[in-house]
Amino acid sequence: MFLARSVLGTKLRRELWRMRGQVLAIALVIAGGVAVCVMSLVAYSSLNATRELYYQQNQFAEVFAPLKRAPMQSLHRVSEIPGVVRLSARVEAAAKLELPGFTEPVSARVLSVPPSGQPEVNRLFVRQGRLPAPGRNAEAAIVGAFAESHGLLPGDRFSVIINGRKQTLVVTGIVESPEFIYVLPPGGMLPDFKRFGVLWLSQDSLSAAMDMRGAFNSVVVRVQPGYPLASVIHDLDRVLDRYGATGAFSRRDQFSHRFLSDDLDQLKIMATVFPLIFMGVAMFLLHVVISRLVNTQRDIIAVLKAFGYSNRQIAWHYSQLVLAIAAIGLVLGLLAGVWLGGGLGELYMEFYRLPGLLFRLNPAWLALLILITGFVAWLGGWRAIRQAAALPPAEAMRPEGPARFRMAGAERWFSGIRLSQPSRMIIRQMARRPLRALLSMVGIAMATAIVMVGNFQFDSVSLMVQTEFARVQQQDLTATLVEPVNAAALFGLQRQPGIRYAEGRRSVAVRLVNGHRDRRSVLHGMPAGARLQFVVDKDLQAVDLPAEGLLLTDFLASELGVGPGEYLRVEMLEGDRRTLSVPVAGVTSEFLGVGAYMRLPALNRALGEGPVINQILLSVDPARKDEVYQSLREAPGVLGIGIRQAMLDSFYDTLARTFLTFTFFNSLLGAIIAFGVIYNTIRIALAEKGRELASLRVMGYTHNEIAHILFGDMAVLLVFGIVSGWLFGQGLAWMIITAMQTELYRVPLTITAHTLGISATVVFVSATVSGGVAWWRLRHLDLVAVLKTRE
Amino acid sequence: MESQPVFRTRGLTKSYDQGEVTVRALRGVDLELYTGELVVLLGASGSGKSTLLNILGGLDLPTSGEVSYGDLDLSVANDRLLTRYRREHVGFVFQFYNLIPSLTALENVAVVTEIAANPMTPEEALRLVGLQDRGLHFPAQLSGGEQQRVAIARAIAKRPAVLLCDEPTGALDSTTGILVLEALESANRETGTTTVIITHNAAIAGMADRVITMSDGSISGERRNTKRQPPTELSW
């Protein structure tokens, strides 16, 4: 660089060094924005690329078609469906597991692997060991998350009950599947690696256990790229209809895929919203600092111009200063972002079972980010730079005229109060530069808001989970039955030792259709006067189920475009698969999942069945819970058991840790912004008022008294900034929540006093640190020197 | 006029380390200042007069020697004590006025009266310098001479024991400068405040009771005017 060696280059370097505190404070704010952006982009790109490659290499299905039972011979009709390029027919089953030393119920999903080894579609990634061999009855491969949480290794044994028959399996391998990147128990919302697993058995062995020899009950297909999925789904439903198909669905409705996609979308939001705030603050800081510098260098600019430097050279000189600060921020941000992005990716890997994480950062995005950062920074200094270039040399030689002040309008409002002169100085200083005061306040508000956003998510998700697992679900256990049974079974169950109360429900997989819109969902039939689980609205009040018609989650209603009073087509995906037209009686708000609710008798009537149930909710005596677990495990009619407390614990064990990490980083970022804004504001105030403060010191004002003047307006800005930051944070939180609403969950907006307190504390501590630095500088104010020279 | 000395210095020296050279700004100054007198301290730039004024005003400490204000030993006082000393006893007038731009003339004076023990009212102080009608103006609305007179009003409002003026007319033309000197003269006459004016402008010497000349860090001459010349008769 030529300029770096020129005299102006030297001037630039020395000035950067002289202002290093302020330079660093601004660079840190820029770095914060860049880091969040890069972190999110790295995590997004890496996870996305890893998932894409994984899907590609392992032939992840595009369409999934569950059915009751179809003979293998019928498979050729599926392969003839236009658009289908690959398919895999398999047997799926539910199982109950018994693990040595673990008394709680464990359930599992079991899938078959073909005799050839790897399936054509949804191939497995073998982490350790091998797949179960054909003809070997007692072998199973198990999913990695489950293996790790129980410390299972190839060669270990455990018991399993499939289709009511108990057998002992030996672990042959530990595997991952693109179908189970996010391992979720059926109907669950949170992973529970200890109590839910996925097993793969050889096809002959699982077929034998399920009485499915020569048949399959699930087919997964790969579709020719670009071929319309809807058409394949339609054809699959048509071909498999006679085999009890319950409706084919695409990846969009596949849980694991859906969860990861939702998370990736959230990363994208994070990559844009947060950097926007940081860059806004950095622009303001640069503007203030550069303006100040230009004002103090009027005479230097004049001399340079008098010597023949052009406007362009002057503008470039100050632009370089801005760009140098941006470059420092950019480098720091990139390094931190790449590091954090890797860390975030690893954090995601705790929940998402991917074979390994590829590192990806799109160079085009990176280039764009560098350009935007440079441009935004330059824009921040633009007005000051233009002003510097435009100063006529003769005018620039003269010092800037004395600052013009007037009575602040606010003073008239409280003219009754006698203000001390220092207080007047504080008020008028703010009134003279209202924009700067406002921007400082906005900066502080943004810092507060960012800390808030980091904290409220945990509160909100906690509230969501608490509501679901402590308020809505009052049962201790949920037992899902293999087949619907008469509700009279409940009486027998309630007499069993350890069971205090039992309640039955009927859940049916349905497809809800309104015109061209349709959604797969579950229709729950609930007894009148349910005591263990009922539908609640957003205020957590129990909602009465209408005597006739459906109650829909509001999210589902809006997705389907229906409202109360309108009719919805309900296709039952079980039993005789009848289709009904049912009125929507009302909508309700729920945090987790989407559902449709009816009264149990009304649902059974609609299905043309007697008083049957297929889910039992139980309230259990804690002292005898192991007994209950044991009897449910051995009951052949019970498909699986969910423990409410276990889900809650699992949430706090895993997700809470993730959220704490986020909270920490958000607080750190908020603290950086607060420090950047406050430190710069105080330093500039100190530079501007240094002479005044020194005069006051000479006149006999004490150090504390002049500190009051210096920090007084900062304190006012801090108070207003934090309070408006709370409001701003609430708005931001609302925006984030709205942007992150998904079918799986809708996080409620809750901002606790704790969150407000933390955000205020973080900002306040930042202010105290920067104030401390200024305080120290104030002590070393050179009274004589300040008075001798004209500003 | 001569009574008890207000200030007394003995063998006062002051050295500054400026990089590799040591600048000896004062090389043994013996001086007494008496109540109510108006002293002009004359000297070229670099003669040490400002250094002496800073030490007398409690802004700086001597390297060696004694300086006392009444019973107070200023050569060993700490920052807290010096601040109190300035607050209670000293009025300063600076070359560049150093008014606070966000406060009106009246409020600039009030800055001092608010913290002083027995001040005059800001209005009274402004009247002494002939600016009773300009009290509500901000510094930016006043001329340089007017700003300096506000600075004098501010300095005398606390009824200081001593008024220290560092080149008070240095930034002003002669007509305006004379108005400022008149204000200083009348303040000295009416309040009886010991007044020290430092200047490099020999023409000002005529208005003093006593003229002390400094060169090279020590006192090189001292003379007493038999009659104080009114500032209006001065010219430069």
Phi, psi dihedrals of residue A511, rounded to the nearest 5°? -115, 125
Joined together, the tokens standing for residue B105 give 């003339």
**Range 239-258 of A in CB contact (< 8 A) with B:** none
Interchain contact, A429 vs B57, CB within 8 Å: no
Q: What's the mean pLDDT when you consider all of chain A?
A: 85
Q: How far apart are CA A412 and CA A407, in angstroms?
A: 8
Give the per-residue pLDDT at A787: 66
DSSP B144-161: HHHHHHHHHHHHHTT--S
Cα A660 to Cα A457, A459, A586, A748, distances in angstroms:
10, 11, 38, 18
Give the best residue of B79, B100, B136 to mutate against chain A (max A CB count within 10 A): B100
Rounded to the nearest angstrom, the minimum Cα separation between A790 and chain B is 7
CB of A420 within 8 Å of any CB in chain B? Answer: yes
Interchain contact, B110 vs A425, CB within 8 Å: no
Q: CA nearest B75: which of B48, B49, B52? A: B52
Q: CA nearest A714: which of A647, A640, A764? A: A764
Rg (alpha carbons) of chain A, rounded to whole number: 33
> Exposure of A17 by Cβ count < 10 A (0-12 exposed, 13-18 middle, 19+ buried)?
exposed
Q: What is the pLDDT of residues B95-118, one digit of tens each?
A: 888 888 888 899 889 888 888 888
Q: What is the pLDDT of residues A176-226, one digit of tens each?
A: 999 999 888 876 667 788 889 999 999 999 999 999 999 999 999 999 999
Interchain contact, B115 vs A701, CB within 8 Å: yes
Interchain contact, A424 vs B54, CB within 8 Å: no
Please list, in sequence order, all residues whose beta carbon lies within 8 angstroms of the beta carbon of residue A438, skipping any fewer than 6 positions away: none
Q: How far apart are CA A374 and CA A380, in angstroms?
A: 10
Q: CA nearest A54: which of A175, A203, A214, A146? A: A175
**Range 680-709 of A in CB contact (< 8 A) with B:** 691-692, 694-703, 705
Give the per-residue pLDDT at A402: 58
- Which residue does chain A place closest to B90, by CA atoms? A699
Q: How many residues does chain B have?
A: 236
Measure CA of the first residue to CA of the last residue in chain B; give whole Å.
Answer: 29
Measure CA of the first residue to CA of the last residue in chain A; give whole Å.
Answer: 34
- Report ipTM (2 d.p.): 0.80
Interchain contact, B138 vs A420, CB within 8 Å: no
| Structure letter (DSSP) for residue B192 | -
Using a CB-CB cut-off of 8 Å, the residues of chain B touching A420 are: 114
CB of A784 within 8 Å of any CB in chain B? Answer: yes
Rounded to the nearest angstrom, the minimum Cα separation between B224 and chain A is 29
A401, A402, A421 ranked by CB distance to B114: nearest = A421
A406, A422, A699 ranked by CB distance to B92: nearest = A699
Interchain contact, A784 vs B100, CB within 8 Å: no
Q: How far apart are CA A704 and CA A697, in angstroms?
A: 10
Using a CB-CB cut-off of 8 Å, the residues of chain B touching A691 are: 98
Q: Is residue B14's pLDDT more than 60?
A: yes
- A 10 A CB-CB count for B100 gives 26
Whether B231 contacts B169, CB under 8 Å: no
Local mean pLDDT, 10-residue blocks, chain A (791 residues): 62 87 87 88 89 94 94 93 95 91 88 93 95 87 93 94 91 95 78 89 93 94 94 93 89 87 81 77 79 77 76 88 92 92 83 86 88 89 84 64 65 69 80 81 86 82 78 85 87 86 90 88 88 78 84 89 92 84 88 85 89 92 88 82 81 71 80 84 80 85 85 88 93 81 76 91 90 83 67 46
Q: Chain B: which residues have CB within 8 Å of chain A?
A: 50, 54, 57, 59-60, 79-80, 83-88, 90, 92, 94, 96, 98, 100-103, 107-108, 110-112, 114-115, 138-140, 154, 166, 171
B83, B98, B138 ranked by CB distance to A702: nearest = B83
Give the per-residue pLDDT at A332: 95
Using a CB-CB cut-off of 8 Å, the residues of chain B touching A705 are: 115
Using a CB-CB cut-off of 8 Å, the residues of chain A touching B171 are: 790
Using a CB-CB cut-off of 8 Å, the residues of chain A touching B88 are: 700
Rounded to the nearest angstrom, the minimum Cα separation between A710 and chain B is 13
Q: CA nearest A217: which of A112, A308, A322? A: A112
Three-state SS sequence of A606-647: HHCCCCEEEEEEEEECHHHHHHHHHHHHHCCCEEEEEEHHHH
Give the best residue of B55, B88, B98, B113 to mutate against chain A (max A CB count within 10 A): B98
Report the range of poorest mean pLDDT among A197-201, A527-531, B12-16, B123-127: A527-531
Domain B34-60+88-233 maps to which CATH number in 3.40.50.10380, 3.40.250.10, 3.30.70.260, 3.40.50.300?
3.40.50.300
Any idea where the domains of chain B sit in the sequence? 34-60+88-233
CB of A401 within 8 Å of any CB in chain B? Answer: yes
Interchain contact, B101 vs A403, CB within 8 Å: yes
Any idea where the domains of chain A sit in the sequence? 7-47+278-341+353-360+371-391, 64-88+212-249, 92-209, 420-473+645-791, 499-620
Give the per-residue pLDDT at A788: 65
3-state helix, strand, coil in chain A (%, to 5): 55, 20, 25
Mean pLDDT, residues B178-194 taken together:
90
Interchain contact, A404 vs B96, CB within 8 Å: no
User: What's this model's pTM, rounded to 2 decimal places?
Assistant: 0.74
Q: To 10 degrees, the CA torsion angle through A493, A497, A501, A502?
A: -20
Cα A202 to Cα A93, A140, A167, B113, distances in angstroms:
13, 8, 14, 97
Q: How far apart are CA A603 and CA B53, in angstroms?
A: 100
Residue A553 half-sphere exposure toward CB, CA atoms < 13 A: 21
At B135, is the secondary structure helix, strand, or coil?
A: coil
> Exposure of A738 by Cβ count < 10 A (0-12 exposed, 13-18 middle, 19+ buried)?
exposed
Interchain contact, A695 vs B114, CB within 8 Å: no
Interchain contact, B100 vs A705, CB within 8 Å: no
Rounded to the nearest angstrom, the minimum Cα separation between B116 and chain A is 9
Q: Is residue B83's pLDDT more than 90?
A: no
CB of A404 within 8 Å of any CB in chain B? Answer: yes
Rounded to the nearest angstrom, the minimum Cα separation between A28 and chain B is 33
CB of A788 within 8 Å of any CB in chain B? Answer: yes
